[in-house]
Chain A
Amino acid sequence: MTAIVVFIDQVDAPGKLHPIHHQLLTLARGAGEPVAVVAGPVGAELAAELGSYGVARVVHSGQAELADYLVAPKAELVAQAAAAVSAAAVLVDNSPQGKEIAARVGVALNAGVITDAVGVSNDGGALVAHKSVLAGSWTVDARATTAVSVISVKAHSVDAAPAPGAAVAAVERLEVAFSPASLGARITKRTPRESSGRPELEDARIVVAGGRGLDGDFGPVEELADVLGAAVGASRAATDAGWISHAAQVGQTGKKVSPQLYISVGISGAIQQKAGMQTSKVIVAVNKDSESPVFEIADFGIVGDLFKVLPQAVEEIKRRRA
């Protein structure tokens, strides 16, 4: 069977797999033999979790350069590991770092790179990536024409499932030969962000997003999000104003989300905002201006004052659950 490399970053948060890794391993299993390439330590717990997803072969490096310099050393690890196991494909997550690792692995292996895949299928041994382009207005199928395909995959491209029979993961250490040029951008400080305790935007089934209409008070949006178990998003106007972390921004230069339900509150619906949310299954909009462009794409729209509509909806949900 052909080896399919899945990159797993354990540098910042070692010990466990992230849901995206479960998804990537599930995809890899459908395409060949999954090989986990791990930056950072591989403890017994992680090895067992990898085994349960069908990984028999783990290649890892804990070299300090992987943590000390931006992106390039991790890309060299992945490229050298992929060459060592003669991989037919490399799958990485679609974070900025994931895409950049894909980009550099493409250069190192002279391999075609496809980013932002929302699905990957196997066409007689060749991987076909499905992606949505032009701010979600088109969908395309793309494939690499090279011996190796490098694909960065968005969350929820597949339902993750453990392997029918667990494998025993054999862990090999790889001594990466770093090129001097890859040790040029040093990470001199790391400041962890505070966690909101709410679901992450890209993982959430429901997103409630607020804009300039909130006028500095995200309370109504957070209360609705919490009764729905939703993630909180925002327009750039709201993040630029400092009402909420930039990490919550949805849109062209923020997160691109496609949840089951997106509730847009006090957001006008500019093209750059739509670019991050118009592939959502169901869109609900609350805005006091009936002319707002967001109503052109809303499945259910309420022309009204968010400070009245949202608290009433929260009360009603609580009442029905009581």
Chain B
Amino acid sequence: MENSALNIVVLVKYVPDTQFDRHLTGESHRLDRNESILSELDEYALEAALALADARGGAKAGNTVTALTLGPAAAAAAVKKSLQIGATSGVHVSDDALAGSDASATSLALAAAVRTLGPVDLVITGMSSTDGETSIVPAQLAARLGLPQVTFASSLELDGTTVTARRDGDDVSEEVQAQLPALVSVTDQANEPRYPNFKGILAAKKKKVVTLSLSDIGVEAGAVGSAGSLTRVTAAAERPARTAGTIVTDTGDAGIALVDFLAAQKLI
């Protein structure tokens, strides 16, 4: 068993680019999903998966890295980008009934999708989506799949069938160990994500992307989307954008001007 090939599923989310203004729209205050990309933080999950597969001989040795996304039609772009970076195949869960799913409904559908993929050694996710920013999908997924939860890994190693991760908290840094199969989420400290190269972009054209509907994963429409969500956003407001205040250029006494400002604001 020592160096058997791995089946890894990486969860990648298609999210609005944080470089642009983001908006909530409509009666149920949903996120406007124009200008979206593969979540920056999920590139670390993909890199972790590819590095583990590479260490066992990569695709040639039978290791698989399946990029899985759940989202609207356009979310296929997140899977394609993952294939260009090096994932071996892609799965896109897409169904109109999924629109408006909260974390609970999302993790329910993702768990069902993972189950349809056959035996999996590792499910690897990002530390947080850059739109929802909840960090709860990985823990819910581990609970639903009955997998050991090894989350917020800032380093990750695999030895035989034992995963070892470091989890840095404020007061303690913990070493966590689990046996495969397991669910792991990685932070942006875990690695340095690779970029797609020309060869990878060409190779991606030949790779398979499977699109699954709710019936393909055996989930009822009423269990997801707005109907299946367990939370509601009842009001939303854009915070007035911060505006620039007074800007001064130091001519020798800006440190004193700083103290004057703090005193005037009653901050000292």
Residues of A in contact with B (beta carbons under 8 Å apart) = 12-13, 70-72, 75, 95-97, 99-100, 102-104, 106-108, 110-116, 128, 132-146, 179, 181, 184-193, 200, 206, 228, 236, 246-247, 252-253, 260-261, 271-272, 275, 278-279, 282-284, 286, 290, 295-305, 308-317, 320
Q: Is B1 an interface residue (CB 8 A)?
A: no
Report Cα–Cα, A228/B18, bound state, in Å: 33
Q: How many residues of B contact A (CB 8 A)?
A: 87
Report Cα–Cα, A103/B235, bound state, in Å: 23
CB-CB under 8 A from B41, the residues of chain A are 253
Q: Is B172 an interface residue (CB 8 A)?
A: yes
Q: Is the interface of B mostly helix, strand, loop or mixed?
A: mixed
Min C-beta distance of B223 to chain A, whole Å:
11
Known A-B contacts A70-B167, A116-B134; A261 and B149 likewise in contact (beta carbons under 8 Å): no
Question: B150, B179, B189, B258: which has the most chain A beta carbons within 10 Å?
Answer: B258
29 contacts between A and B (CB under 8 A): A12-B172, A102-B136, A103-B143, A106-B230, A108-B143, A112-B230, A112-B231, A113-B134, A113-B231, A115-B135, A128-B234, A137-B22, A140-B24, A140-B233, A143-B232, A145-B230, A146-B230, A185-B182, A188-B177, A190-B174, A191-B175, A279-B239, A286-B258, A290-B247, A290-B249, A301-B248, A308-B255, A309-B254, A312-B253
Report Cα–Cα, A73/B167, bound state, in Å: 17
Asked if B179 contacts A103 (CB within 8 A), the reply is no
Asked if A312 contacts B255 (CB within 8 A), the reply is yes
Min C-beta distance of A114 to chain B, whole Å:
6
CB-CB under 8 A from B137, the residues of chain A are 103
Q: Is B256 an interface residue (CB 8 A)?
A: yes
CB-CB under 8 A from A275, the residues of chain B are 18
Known A-B contacts A300-B245, A302-B248, A304-B250; A139 and B255 likewise in contact (beta carbons under 8 Å): no
CB-CB under 8 A from B235, the residues of chain A are 140-141
CB-CB under 8 A from A304, the residues of chain B are 249-250, 254
Q: Which residue of A lies closest to B168 (CB)?
A: A246
Contact of A301 (CB < 8 Å), options: B134, B236, B245, B268: B245
Known A-B contacts A103-B139, A295-B244, A308-B250; A186 and B177 likewise in contact (beta carbons under 8 Å): yes
Q: Is the interface of A mostly helix, strand, loop or mixed?
A: mixed
Asked if A113 contacts B255 (CB within 8 A), the reply is no
Asked if B149 contacts A185 (CB within 8 A), the reply is yes
Report Cα–Cα, A290/B248, bound state, in Å: 9
Contact of A99 (CB < 8 Å), options: B136, B150, B241, B250: B136
Asked if B147 contacts A181 (CB within 8 A), the reply is yes
CB-CB under 8 A from B236, the residues of chain A are 138-141
Q: Is B36 an interface residue (CB 8 A)?
A: no
Asked if B139 contacts A100 (CB within 8 A), the reply is yes
The 9 A-B pairs of least Cβ separation, nearest first, read: A312-B255, A184-B148, A304-B250, A112-B230, A103-B136, A299-B245, A103-B139, A189-B175, A313-B255
Asked if B139 contacts A315 (CB within 8 A), the reply is no
Asked if B22 contacts A134 (CB within 8 A), the reply is yes
Contact of B149 (CB < 8 Å), options: A72, A286, A309: A72
Min C-beta distance of B149 to chain A, whole Å:
5
Report Cα–Cα, A272/B127, bound state, in Å: 15
Q: Is B196 an interface residue (CB 8 A)?
A: no
